[in-house]
Structure 1
Amino acid sequence: MSAQGLLDGKTVVITGASSGIGAAAAELFVKEGAQVVLAARREDRLSDVIDRIGAPGGRAVAVVADVTRAEEMRTVVRTAVETFGGVHAAFNNAGWTSTGTPMHLMGDEEYDRIMDVNARGVWNAMRAEIAVMLEHGGSIVNTSSVAGMRATGASAPYIAAKHAVIGLSRAAADEYVAYGIRVNAIAVGSTRTELMEQVLSDTPSLIEPFVGRSIQQRLADPVEIAQTAAWLCSDRSSFTTGAVIPADGGWTAR
């Protein structure tokens, strides 16, 4: 008899699934027994993730979608229902930032883009997911950041947006507890993702503080964050809701 996976039989929506933490989560969640619906804007990268997973029995499907568009997130959730019969959990991981333009020099378009992807994206995703979880409950995990708890040197709108993700998560946890819906956030530390590599390439001076502030003195591998998300999506975290779980190498412990 084979061992049961952490997410055995669950259908999980993952946003920002075309690279980094989202792609690592897609691969891990399938290994843990889940059926996954992957959402991101880049169709070619989503296809690469699906090919890499090699999910048996068609247990992974991709939907090209922009989290800043509410209707596209409803399409993602509708695809999960039509393909797998429902949504048990969601990992709302899509994010975006700039390279720390000073507030007084930042244009409105840059501000809007950062806030829209990171805060409105979680808002759009949760509303679509909660609507189908009302009958049977579920678990939602939102990617925040140490920037949601500290001024980290990232851009001001990014810090504000990641604080907002924590607020939205706590509010939803409180509002929907009677429906059996749990909502948590992960305070992600510096992680070796495509976005992080871009930031460090543009601003090499950030390498030391991004690594040096954590107890472990290193960047995380994306799968390390995905493992935290898998636990929060699973029934093994059944008494955890409205929480902000640090996956930061000890950054916020100091």
Structure 2
Amino acid sequence: MVGRLEGSVAVVTGAGSGIGRAIAERFAAEGATVSVWDLDEKDAAGTVDALTERGAKSAACAVDVADGASVGRAAERSLAAFGRVDILVNNAGVFDYYAPVLDTSEEQWDRILGVNLKGMFLVTKSLLPALLDGGGTVVNTSSISGVVAGGGGIAYTSSKHGVIGFTRQLAADYGKQGVRANAILPGAVETPMTRPILEQGDAAILETVRSVPAQRHAQPAEIANLALFLASDESSFVHGSSYVIDGGWTAL
């Protein structure tokens, strides 16, 4: 059977581990060529090795999404290697471990917003001309912190609210030119970034995670399944939407 992304080229940021790696693996399994972007060059190479072992075509790019020059080099490298980009997944992100305003430094604020929101802007801007060439798809990773409080601290929650606004405006600006943009809003997911929280975090936070209707946290592959839907033609009439995938957390 032909994969749902057969013949397409995808760029996935933060693909060295966690949700990003799961998305890269899912896309590759559906026939996509994947350009793996991550701040950690070793992690990016590890994902590429895993994809190559499964017969997929892939390449690694070490990139700091919060740095315009770094993003520009990665975009040039990806386009030179694969000739085009059909799918962009803006997944790279950092967490602030529930820090409130008084515990958040200016440096921490700048770092969180720099990666989670500015980085999304820089990456999208660098690849949008290529996406417009063939009519592409953008999938942005927000969070339930994009619609409710309590899933992160002040900087993280602000950044993830911003991702939803960014996604909606991107869809409004470029949908008529053939580029779809949508966001995924995960709840608690077991990744290298969140594992310390899930294992030894604040008791109230852990109780919330365990009390959701699903009674568990998600695995990265479950988030990747939603990203696949939004990246594929199966979601061809979906523009500017935000999909919560949280085990029922926000239903409480």
> 2:210 — aligned with what?
211
Q: Is the 8 A contact 1:66 1:73 kept in 2?
A: yes
Query: C-alpha deviations, 1:190-228, integer Å up to 9, x for none?
Result: 10011111334563422111332x321111000110111
Alpha-carbon separation, structure 2, partners of 1:220 and 1:30 = 21
Query: C-alpha deviations, 1:32-89, integer Å up to 9, x for none?
Result: 1000001011111112111222256661100000110122222222222211120001
TM norm structure 2: 0.94
- Helix, strand or coil at the partner of 2:134: coil
- Helix, strand or coil at the partner of 2:60: strand
Alpha-carbon separation, structure 2, partners of 1:245 and 1:52 = 28
Q: Is the 8 A contact 1:13 1:77 kept in 2?
A: no
Q: What amino acid does structure 2 have at the position aligned with 1:209?
A: T
Q: How does 1:1-254 map to 2 (within 5 A)?
A: 3-54=1-52, 59-201=57-199, 203-205=201-203, 206-212=205-211, 214-254=212-252
Q: Is the 8 A contact 2:96 2:155 kept in 1?
A: no
Q: What amino acid does structure 2 have at the position aligned with 1:156?
A: I
Query: C-alpha deviations, 1:121-176, integer Å up to 9, x for none?
Result: 11111111212122221000000000000002411110010000000000000000
Q: Is the 8 A contact 1:87 1:133 kept in 2?
A: yes
Q: Is the 8 A contact 2:117 2:160 kept in 1?
A: yes
Q: Is the 8 A contact 1:30 1:55 kept in 2?
A: no
TM norm structure 1: 0.94
- Structure 1 residue runs of 5 or longer lacking an equivalent are none
Q: Is the 8 A contact 2:139 2:182 kept in 1?
A: yes
1:106, distance to aligned residue in structure 2 (A): 1.7
Alpha-carbon separation, structure 1, partners of 2:133 and 2:44 = 30
- Structure 2 residue runs of 5 or longer lacking an equivalent are none
Alpha-carbon separation, structure 1, partners of 2:148 and 2:37 = 29
User: Structure 2 vs 1, CA of residues 126 and 253 (structure 1 numbering), >3 Å: closer, same or farther?
Assistant: same
Name the stretch that deviates more: 171-180 or 243-252. 243-252
What is the identity percentage for the equivalent residue pairs of Structure 1 and Structure 2?
A: 36
1:117, distance to aligned residue in structure 2 (A): 0.9
Alpha-carbon separation, structure 2, partners of 1:200 and 1:217 = 13
- Helix, strand or coil at the partner of 1:198: helix
Name the stretch that deviates more: 76-85 or 19-28. 76-85
Alpha-carbon separation, structure 2, partners of 1:179 and 1:211 = 43
1:101, distance to aligned residue in structure 2 (A): 2.3
Alpha-carbon separation, structure 1, partners of 2:28 and 2:101 = 41
